[in-house]
């Protein structure tokens, strides 16, 4: 190898050594700085060190009140606005809720008399000591006691009751200063989904227990204690157990929107399906319960009737396939006095005896009537003394009679 070759080899060795040195410095700088981005190394001609890594928690926006521009502030106790409203309702209404205990005398197996105790809830209506509860809570009771919010117990007397709407008014002689009446709201403006609050005495042991839920459905129809339908019933998923009967169903302002009366449950305990008689019905019934001791249910006078179906119409050769085929009318009732006819003869249809030949009720005040339950619900929406026009079919000819609603007799 010549001198020039040796010189070129030395120059190349020096160049390679410098290149290795530069690469080593760059690698060390990167290792020290941790400069990576999505797996891609980034080089910079400027020797400015990257900032030290820091962790900042992601800020969450504060919860807002639905339908308003207000912010649900968390107070010093950690409560939001919804919790504070429920707490406020409980603080205001719980003293109004009472525990109703009863003693009923039952006949034993050997016809001996055995006292049995029952329990339910109720709430104070006024400073005169009137308390509202369910009829089934006090039905048949020989002795009734009411325990107020301050744990004082007073004997109670029944002022009035209505089995159909499952309502009863009690009276206690308690000082006005320890009575805390509730505020009655309205049920006609309720919406499915709005908050529902229950305060009562489940199982007769846990006084003034609060549960919450929502209005699950409206305008349900239940069968009353006398077998007649109750309309406009409120359904809720707020927990209602035995002993809650007679307690208030409240809105988020603490106003009574119903009285808890029944649950649907195969086991007899809360299954998330509870029912309350609406407060609008309560306000309609209360004045007569206070004054007369009963509620006068308006009626036309039908004691028994068949709901006509297309099949029944075909079998009996009736001129219409809907309406009520009248079977029996109460004596002296509005329809009976208007010469409306019940069944005139009997016939055998399949394996059952049917009574035919009566007038067919088609409508009342222009409202078509297809079942007895529909007629009963229609009657409850009116008052005694109201004149109504009843459309009837007799022998294929339409006729109308005008009658005034009267009080339905006790059965």
Query: Which sign, positive or negative, has the C-alpha torsion 209, 88, 271, 162?
Result: positive
Active site annotation includes 130 = no
Q: Between the CA of residue 280 and those of 203, 239, 373, what are the distances in Å? A: 28, 22, 20
Angstrom distance (rounded) from CA 52 to CA 34? 10
Angstrom distance (rounded) from CA 234 to CA 89? 20
**Distance from chain centroid for Cα 106:** 33
Q: Pick the catalytic residue: 121, 161, 187, 245?
A: 245
Q: What is the phi-psi region of residue 176: left when phi exceeds 0, alpha when psi lies from -120 to 50, beta otherwise?
A: alpha
Which candidate, 270, 278, 227, places its Cα nearest to that of 249?
278
Q: Pick the catalytic residue: 162, 166, 237, 251?
A: 166
Active site annotation includes 347 = no
SS3 129: coil
Active site annotation includes 136 = yes
39 CB-near residues (< 8 Å, 6+ apart): none
Angstrom distance (rounded) from CA 280 to CA 19? 94
> How crowded is residue 102: how many other Cβ atoms within 10 Å of its Cβ?
20
| CB-count exposure of residue 168 (10 Å: 0-12, 13-18, 19+) | buried
Q: Pick the catalytic residue: 136, 161, 216, 359?
A: 136
Question: DSSP class of residue 267?
Answer: S
Segments in 53-184 forming alpha helices (H): 81-93, 135-138
CB 222 within 8 A of CB 263: no
Angle at 88 between CA 195 and CA 207, to 5 degrees: 85
Angstrom distance (rounded) from CA 14 to CA 110? 122
Angle at 169 between CA 151 and CA 188, to 5 degrees: 105
Which candidate, 123, 128, 119, places its Cα nearest to that of 100?
119
Q: Which residues are catalytic?
A: 136, 166, 245
């Amino acid at each position: 190898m010549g001198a020039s070759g040796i010189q070129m080899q030395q120059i190349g060795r020096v160049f390679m050594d410098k290149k290795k040195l530069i690469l080593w410095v760059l690698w060390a700088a990167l290792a020290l700085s941790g400069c990576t981005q999505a797996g891609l190394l980034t080089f910079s001609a400027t020797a400015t060190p990257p900032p030290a890594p820091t962790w900042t928690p992601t800020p969450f926006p504060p919860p807002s009140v639905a339908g308003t521009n207000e912010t649900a502030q968390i107070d010093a106790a950690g409560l939001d606005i919804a919790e504070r409203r429920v707490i406020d309702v409980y603080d205001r209404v719980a003293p109004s809720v009472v525990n109703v205990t009863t003693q009923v005398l039952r006949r034993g197996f050997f016809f001996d008399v055995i006292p049995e105790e029952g329990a339910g809830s109720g709430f104070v209506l006024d400073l005169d000591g009137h308390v509202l509860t369910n009829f089934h809570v006090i039905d048949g009771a020989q002795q009734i006691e009411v325990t107020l919010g301050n744990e004082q117990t007073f004997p109670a007397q029944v002022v009035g009751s209505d089995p159909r709407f499952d309502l009863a008014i009690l009276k206690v002689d308690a000082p006005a200063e320890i009575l805390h009446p509730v505020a009655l709201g309205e049920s006609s403006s309720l919406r499915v989904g709005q908050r529902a609050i229950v305060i009562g005495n489940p199982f007769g042991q846990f006084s003034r227990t609060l549960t919450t839920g929502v209005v699950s459905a409206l305008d349900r129809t239940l069968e009353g204690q006398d077998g007649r339908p109750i309309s406009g019933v409120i359904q809720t998923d707020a927990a209602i157990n035995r002993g809650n009967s007679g307690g208030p169903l409240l809105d988020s302002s603490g106003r009574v929107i119903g009285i808890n009366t029944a649950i649907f449950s195969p086991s007899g305990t809360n299954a998330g399906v509870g029912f309350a008689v609406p407060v609008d019905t309560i306000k309609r019934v209360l004045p007569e319960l206070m004054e007369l001791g009963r509620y006068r249910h308006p009626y036309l006078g039908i004691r028994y009737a068949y709901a006509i179906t297309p099949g029944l119409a075909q079998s009996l050769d009736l001129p219409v396939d809907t309406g009520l085929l009248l079977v029996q009318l109460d004596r002296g009732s509005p329809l009976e006095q208007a010469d409306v006819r019940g069944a005139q003869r009997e016939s055998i249809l399949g394996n059952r005896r049917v009574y035919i030949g009566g007038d067919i009720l088609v409508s009342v005040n222009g409202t078509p009537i297809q079942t007895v339950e529909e007629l009963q619900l229609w009657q409850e929406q009116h008052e005694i003394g109201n004149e109504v026009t009843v459309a009837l079919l007799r022998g294929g000819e339409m006729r109308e009679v005008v009658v005034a609603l009267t009080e339905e007799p006790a059965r």
